[in-house]
């Protein structure tokens, strides 16, 4: 428990990090540092995206799997680390 | 039957003779049945077979393949709309009510205690940290190849591709005769639709013109409803909500897109043009509401959009400076450059281009000079945006580039094309590039720096003729309108829409060179003409002197003329003989002198010939 907190605090302290969300496989946000409405929006959209990305890779090569997903946009970067049951979403504004 | 008998070569005719008494004519016919009668039996004739060759084997082609037929399928137009989704939290298990804070918190706490959760998060966290640090360390998406300019050397071939086609939604298709881009951001395209073919407009042809949003080709964004089909349409460069259009019946209409489809103002029929308004251009003015229009009725009218009941100024394109409409030239193109607000140019149906000055003191001085070069109506006229002294005209089957200083002919011109050129314009970003559209549906891109005798790029946009062409200010997008109401939007490749190195100076040098060439040619022509004139004047003087001798008999005149003529011929012959003798002897320098002498002699002979002709004419008149 404490390690989880520590990890999250460490991530939050990195430069440019705007928000962190931990989501479970059903799309329920477990932990978040952002306000509720944004969290819900992010979770709803990103969940679908991750499922799609994963299924795409698996279709191309059944032995392959998604390890990390990075979406770079004009304003910031959304990084998604998927796992079997949970995934971690971090929104960062790169320093440059 | 007779024809098959002919091939048998028998002179036998099978004739049926019907006999009837005169008195029996008109009587009812009685038909009767009788058995079949063999009339002619033409049996096979073995000797004939010798005229034919037995052919064995015979080649017959067969194919053992699956029979296939070609079909084309086009799916139905798929209309898409954008919609938004409202997110609500979901995925909560059945026993948890998402609205209840307590329950959700309890659920969350339970998850957090899960072993799985802890390990997952720790692991994901470390991965994530890595990436975050990576981001902070350097910009991993930095473009390193920006520094390499050398890559630019490899030029891609000029290319353009069609992005979209905006079709006339009406049943009866009209020609897109005018196009105008929205001045701000260029996301909208206004098209003027009308039928310019004389009396071909059907009764149920709609009068509407449309404004399209280039992202949506399915439906026009706004419909403009004039009283008569619009031949030309222009956005006001100062106010992007207003447009002015010239109608087929000669009226001018003014729209405000915020106020709907009906024109806000319409010029009165009596004061407008009497023929379709072919071109309308907005002018630079403090109020931003001034425009002028030209039509084939020979008038150029200036309007203030706030008061369209009558034009503010009128100019009749009459070269004899009398202002009479009968002798006026019909205008089919108009040109105005904002940097030279007092001058403007008019292209006429007769192939002349008139350069006019608006601020001239008297109407007679308004037309400054003319440029004559085309055999047919000048359909397009535009100054080069980088070199305003040079302008492009299109008419008959050629496109010509002119310099304002040379009035006799154009400085550069294309070959005669196979079909009629209908419109042209310069590229707003590259001074050496211009575009033309033709009646066979082909869009030509000409790059005078690259190739001069044929277009750099020729694209067949559609099967029917293209009537209008407009480039967007950025130079990348191009819209062209066809006869059946399809406005095609093309995107040009980067090589055609970016200014090349040294392009401006090269083009300036080229125009200079061509202008100089024309000037030299013109000077030469003038010299020759002067010489001719002086020679004819001199001969007339001689004649005058001879006449002063008093009245002479025509017969004596003839006799004298003949004598002169023959003596001149004799002299020439003798001289030639002398030359031949000298030739055998040798001597080059003398030959030169001889040449000169000969030339002079020849001139003298010519002159006497002219005198004789003059005598004869005088005698006969």
Cβ atoms of B12 and B1 within 8 Å: the answer is no
Q: Is the pLDDT of residue B524 over 50?
A: yes
Tell me the helix, strand and coil percentages in chain B, rounded to 5: 30, 25, 45
Q: Is the pLDDT of residue B160 over 70?
A: yes
Query: Is residue A84 within 8 angstroms of chain B, CB to CB?
Result: yes
Confidence category of residue A91, pLDDT binned at 50, 70, 90 = very high
Q: Which domain holds residue B395?
A: 160-518
- Is B120's CB within 8 Å of A86's CB? yes
pLDDT in the model for residue B592: 52
- Is B122's CB within 8 Å of A3's CB? yes
Give the mean model confidence (pLDDT) for residues B147-176: 75
Considering only residues B390 and B556, tell me which one the structure prediction assigns the higher pLDDT: B390
pLDDT in the model for residue B2: 42
Give the mean model confidence (pLDDT) for residues B485-495: 87
Q: Please check whether residue B81 lies inside any domain of the structure.
A: no
- Is A31's CB within 8 Å of B112's CB? yes
Q: Please check whether residue B231 lies inside any domain of the structure.
A: yes
Q: Which residue of A has its CA nearest to B137?
A: A95
Query: Rounded to whole angstroms, what are the CA distances from B580 to B573, B589, B601, B618?
Result: 11, 15, 16, 39
Give the mean model confidence (pLDDT) for residues B371-385: 86
- Is A7's CB within 8 Å of B111's CB? no
Confidence category of residue A53, pLDDT binned at 50, 70, 90 = very high
pTM: 0.57
Burial of B451 (0-12, 13-18, 19+ CB in 10 A): exposed
Task: Give the helix/strand (H/E) hosting B101.
Answer: helix B101-113
Contacts of A58 (CB under 8 A, 6+ apart): A64, A65
- Is A86's CB within 8 Å of B90's CB? no
> What confidence tens digit (pLDDT) does each residue in A23-50 have?
988 888 888 999 988 888 898 889 889 9
- Is A87's CB within 8 Å of B90's CB? no
Among B517, B404, B522, B424, CA closest to B470: B424
Confidence category of residue B606, pLDDT binned at 50, 70, 90 = low
Q: Which residue of A has its CA nearest to B111?
A: A30
CA dist., res. B335 & res. B344, Å (int) = 6
Cβ atoms of B503 and B433 within 8 Å: the answer is no
Confidence category of residue B603, pLDDT binned at 50, 70, 90 = low
CA dist., res. B368 & res. A39, Å (int) = 73
> What confidence tens digit (pLDDT) does each residue in B3-29 have?
444 444 455 677 778 888 888 788 887
pLDDT in the model for residue A80: 93
Q: Is the pLDDT of residue B209 over 60?
A: yes
Among the partner residues B91, B120, B128, nearest to A26 by beta-carbon distance: B91
Chain A residues in contact with B129 by the CB 8 A cut-off are: 7, 10-11, 14
Chain A residues in contact with B116 by the CB 8 A cut-off are: 85
Burial of B252 (0-12, 13-18, 19+ CB in 10 A): buried
pLDDT in the model for residue A81: 92
- Is B136's CB within 8 Å of A8's CB? no
Query: What are residue B191's DSSP bridge partners?
Result: B179, B210
Sign, CA dihedral A14-A17-A22-A23, equals negative
Identify the CATH number of the domain in which residue B209 sits.
2.130.10.10
Among the partner residues A72, A84, A88, nearest to B121 by beta-carbon distance: A88
Sign, CA dihedral B56-B59-B60-B62, equals positive
Among the partner residues B120, B129, B142, nearest to A11 by beta-carbon distance: B129
- Is B128's CB within 8 Å of A79's CB? yes
Give the mean model confidence (pLDDT) for residues B396-408: 86
Cα dihedral value A33, A38, A39, A43, nearest 10: -140
Confidence category of residue B173, pLDDT binned at 50, 70, 90 = confident
Tell me which residue has tokens 């902070």: B136
Q: Is the pLDDT of residue A90 over 90?
A: yes
Chain B residues in contact with A16 by the CB 8 A cut-off are: 132, 135-136
- Is B124's CB within 8 Å of A86's CB? yes
CA dist., res. B42 & res. B561, Å (int) = 88
CA B175 to centroid of chain Cα atoms: 14
Give the mean model confidence (pLDDT) for residues B416-433: 88
Peptide bond into A46 cis (omega under 30): no
Chain A residues in contact with B133 by the CB 8 A cut-off are: 14
% of chain B surpassing 90 pLDDT: 1
Among B564, B593, B567, CA closest to B578: B593
CA dist., res. B457 & res. B451, Å (int) = 10
- Is B125's CB within 8 Å of A8's CB? yes
Cβ atoms of B488 and B461 within 8 Å: the answer is yes
Cβ atoms of B273 and B301 within 8 Å: the answer is yes
Among B317, B461, B468, B300, CA closest to B379: B468
% of chain B surpassing 70 pLDDT: 85
Q: Which residue of A has its CA nearest to B134?
A: A94
Q: Is the pLDDT of residue B397 over 90?
A: no
- Is A7's CB within 8 Å of B133's CB? no
Query: What are residue B252's DSSP bridge partners?
Result: B246
- Binding-site residues on chain B for chain A (CB distance < 8 A): 87-93, 107-108, 111-113, 116-118, 120-129, 131-133, 135-136, 139, 141-142
B272: phi then psi, degrees, rounded to nearest 5:
-90, -170
pLDDT in the model for residue B9: 45
Query: Is residue A70 within 8 angstroms of chain B, CB to CB?
Result: yes
Residue A65 Cα, gap to closest chain B Cα (Å): 15
Q: Is the pLDDT of residue B443 over 70?
A: yes
Among the partner residues B121, B133, B142, nearest to A22 by beta-carbon distance: B121
Chain A residues in contact with B117 by the CB 8 A cut-off are: 4, 30, 85-86
Cβ atoms of B309 and B346 within 8 Å: the answer is no
pLDDT in the model for residue B614: 56
Q: Please check whether residue B609 lies inside any domain of the structure.
A: no
Give the mean model confidence (pLDDT) for residues B153-179: 81
Average pLDDT in chain B: 81
Query: Is residue A71 within 8 angstroms of chain B, CB to CB?
Result: no
Query: Is residue A69 within 8 angstroms of chain B, CB to CB?
Result: no
List the single best residue of A2, A3, A5, A7 to mutate versus B (max B Cβ within 10 A).
Answer: A7
Give the mean model confidence (pLDDT) for residues B224-230: 88
Chain B residues in contact with A5 by the CB 8 A cut-off are: none
Which of B137-146, B261-270, B289-298, B306-315 is the least confident region? B137-146
Give the A window 11-30 contacts with B, CB below 8 Å: 11, 14-17, 22, 24, 26-30
Give the mean model confidence (pLDDT) for residues A7-33: 89
Three state DSSP letters for chain A: CHHHHHHHHHHHHCCCEEEEEEEECCCCEEEECCCHHHHHHHHHHHHHHHHHHHHHHHHHCCCCCCCCEEEECCCCEEEEEECCCEEEEEEECCCC
- Is B120's CB within 8 Å of A40's CB? no
User: Structural domain tally of chain B?
Assistant: 1
Query: Rounded to whole angstroms, what are the CA distances from B443 to A41, B369, B421, B482, B609?
Result: 49, 32, 10, 11, 56
Cβ atoms of B187 and B213 within 8 Å: the answer is yes
Chain B residues in contact with A23 by the CB 8 A cut-off are: none
Confidence category of residue A79, pLDDT binned at 50, 70, 90 = very high
Contacts of B282 (CB under 8 A, 6+ apart): B234, B236, B237, B238, B244, B288, B290, B291
- Is A14's CB within 8 Å of B120's CB? no
Among the partner residues A14, A81, A86, nearest to B117 by beta-carbon distance: A86
pLDDT in the model for residue A22: 92
Considering only residues B286 and A55, tell me which one the structure prediction assigns the higher pLDDT: A55
Tell me which residue has tokens 């050629």: B398
- Is A30's CB within 8 Å of B111's CB? yes
Chain B residues in contact with A93 by the CB 8 A cut-off are: none
pLDDT in the model for residue B328: 79
Chain B residues in contact with A17 by the CB 8 A cut-off are: 132
Q: Please check whether residue B8 lies inside any domain of the structure.
A: no
Give the mean model confidence (pLDDT) for residues B180-201: 83
Cβ atoms < 10 Å from Cβ of B116: 13
Task: Give the helix/strand (H/E) hosting B95.
Answer: none
Taking CB atoms and an 8 Å cut-off, how many pairs form between chains A and B?
Answer: 97
Confidence category of residue B237, pLDDT binned at 50, 70, 90 = confident
Which of B189-193, B502-506, B524-528, B543-547 is the least confident region? B543-547
Give the mean model confidence (pLDDT) for residues B229-235: 90
CA dist., res. B548 & res. B550, Å (int) = 5
Q: Which residue of B has its CA nearest to A90?
A: B128
Contacts of A27 (CB under 8 A, 6+ apart): A43, A44, A47, B90, B91
% of chain A surpassing 90 pLDDT: 29
- Is A28's CB within 8 Å of B122's CB? no
Confidence category of residue B595, pLDDT binned at 50, 70, 90 = low
Give the mean model confidence (pLDDT) for residues B543-567: 71
Task: Give the helix/strand (H/E) hosting B298.
Answer: none
Give the mean model confidence (pLDDT) for residues B68-75: 82
DSSP reduced 3-state for B72: coil
Give the mean model confidence (pLDDT) for residues B567-596: 72
Task: Give the helix/strand (H/E) hosting B106.
Answer: helix B101-113
A16-92 topology per CATH: Beta-Lactamase (3.30.450)
- Is A45's CB within 8 Å of B87's CB? yes
């Amino acid at each position: 428990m404490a390690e989880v907190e520590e990890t999250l605090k460490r991530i939050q302290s990195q430069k440019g990090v705007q928000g962190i969300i931990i989501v479970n496989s059903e799309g329920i946000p477990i932990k978040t540092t952002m306000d509720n409405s944004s969290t819900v929006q992010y979770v709803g959209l990103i969940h679908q995206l991750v499922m799609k990305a994963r299924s795409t890779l698996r279709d191309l090569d059944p032995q392959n799997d998604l390890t990390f997903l990075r979406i770079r946009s004009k304003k910031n970067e959304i990084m998604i680390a998927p796992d079997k049951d949970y995934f971690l979403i971090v929104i960062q504004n790169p320093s440059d | 039957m007779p024809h098959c008998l002919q091939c048998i070569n028998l002179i036998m005719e099978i004739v049926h003779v019907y006999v009837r008494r005169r008195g029996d004519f008109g009587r009812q016919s009685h038909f009767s049945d009788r058995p079949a009668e063999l009339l002619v039996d033409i049996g096979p004739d073995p000797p004939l077979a010798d005229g034919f060759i037995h052919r064995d084997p015979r080649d017959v082609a067969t194919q053992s393949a699956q029979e296939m037929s070609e079909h084309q399928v086009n799916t139905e137009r798929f209309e898409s709309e954008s919609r938004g989704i409202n997110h609500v939290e979901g995925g909560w298990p059945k026993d948890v009510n998402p609205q209840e804070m307590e329950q959700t918190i309890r659920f969350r706490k339970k998850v957090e205690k899960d072993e799985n959760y802890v390990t997952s998060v720790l692991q994901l966290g470390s991965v994530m940290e890595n990436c975050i640090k990576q981001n902070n360390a350097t910009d991993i998406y930095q473009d390193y190849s920006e520094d390499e300019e050398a890559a630019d050397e490899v030029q891609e071939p000029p290319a353009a591709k069609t992005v979209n086609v905006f079709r006339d939604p009406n049943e009866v298709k009209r020609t897109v005769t005018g196009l105008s881009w929205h001045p701000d951001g260029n996301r909208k395209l206004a098209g003027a639709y009308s039928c310019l073919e004389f009396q071909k407009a059907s009764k149920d042809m709609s009068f509407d013109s449309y404004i399209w949003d280039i992202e949506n080709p399915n439906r026009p964004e706004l419909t403009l409803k004039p009283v008569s089909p619009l031949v030309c349409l222009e956005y006001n460069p100062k106010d992007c909500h207003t447009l002015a259009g010239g109608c087929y019946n000669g009226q001018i209409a003014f729209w405000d897109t915020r106020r709907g489809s009906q024109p806000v103002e319409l010029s009165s029929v009596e004061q407008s043009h009497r023929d379709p308004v072919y071109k309308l251009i907005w002018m630079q003015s403090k109020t931003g509401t001034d425009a002028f229009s030209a039509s084939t009725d020979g008038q150029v009218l200036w309007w203030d959009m706030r008061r369209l009941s009558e034009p503010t100024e009128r100019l009749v394109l009459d070269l004899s400076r009398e202002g009479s409409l009968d002798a006026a030239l019909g205008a089919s193109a108009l040109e105005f450059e904002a940097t030279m607000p007092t001058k403007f140019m008019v292209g006429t149906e007769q192939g002349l281009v008139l350069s006019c000055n608006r601020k001239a003191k008297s109407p007679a001085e308004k037309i400054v000079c003319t440029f004559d070069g085309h055999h047919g109506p000048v359909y397009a006229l535009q100054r080069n945006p980088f070199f305003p002294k040079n302008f492009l005209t299109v008419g008959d089957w050629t496109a010509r580039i002119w310099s304002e200083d040379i009035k006799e002919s154009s400085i550069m011109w294309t070959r005669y094309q196979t079909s009629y050129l209908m419109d042209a314009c310069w590229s707003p970003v590259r001074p050496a590039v211009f575009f033309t559209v033709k009646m066979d549906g082909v869009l030509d891109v000409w790059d005078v720096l690259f190739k001069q005798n044929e277009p750099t790029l020729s694209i067949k946009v559609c099967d029917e003729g293209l009537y209008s062409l407009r480039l967007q200010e950025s130079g990348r997008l191009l819209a062209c309108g066809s006869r059946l109401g399809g406005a095609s939007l093309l995107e040009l490749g980067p090589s055609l829409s970016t200014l090349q190195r040294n392009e401006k100076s090269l083009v300036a040098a080229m125009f200079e060179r061509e202008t100089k060439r024309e000037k030299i040619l013109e000077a030469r022509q003038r010299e020759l003409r002067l010489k001719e004139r002086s020679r004819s004047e001199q001969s007339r003087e001689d004649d005058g002197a001879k006449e002063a001798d008093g009245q002479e008999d025509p017969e004596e005149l003839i006799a004298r003329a003949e004598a002169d003529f023959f003596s001149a011929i004799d002299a020439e012959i003798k001289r030639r003989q002398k030359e031949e003798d000298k030739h055998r002897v040798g001597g080059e320098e003398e030959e030169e002198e001889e040449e000169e002498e000969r030339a002079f002699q020849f001139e003298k002979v010519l002159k006497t010939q002219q005198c004789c002709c003059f005598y004869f004419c005088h005698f006969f008149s």
